[in-house]
Homo-oligomer: A and B are copies of this chain.
Amino acid sequence: MTHARYDCNEGCPVEAALEVIGGKWKGIVLYHLLSETIRFNELRRLIPEVTQRMLTKQLRELEADKLILRKVYPEVPPKVEYSMSEYGKTLAPVIHALKDWGTKHKQKQKA
């Protein structure tokens, strides 16, 4: 998702937000991280469909946008924990609004 036009009009904040959370797995990742700190491979188990490469990519992008924190423990085997930043936590209402609507939407689709 690439929407770089911030200089258009009133509706653009919507696009600005979607640009940040619209990556293929970002929604689920943020959703999980909103409830707890999670290690890399734990995330993979929570989201079995995602490939390692994609998960890494999405996490890096979220980190670059300052939404999540990445903490590396100098251990062997490696240990890396991901958590929401304070800034990222401001997304909570958005994620919950998406989740609520998505839940109803899925039900409607089945019916």
> Can you give 5 A-B contacts (C-beta < 8 A)?
A11-B27, A14-B98, A15-B24, A15-B28, A17-B105
Q: Nearest chain B CB to A32's CB is how many angstroms away?
A: 6
Given contacts A8-B47, A21-B18, contact A99 B13 (CB under 8 A): yes
Chain B residue contacts of A101, Cβ below 8 A: 13, 17, 90-91, 93-94
How many copies the complex holds: the figure is 2
Interface of A is mostly: helix
Count residues of A near B (Cβ-Cβ below 8 Å): 49
A residues bordering B, Cβ < 8 Å? Answer: 1-3, 5-6, 8-18, 20-22, 24-25, 27-32, 46-49, 87, 90-91, 93-95, 97-106, 108-109
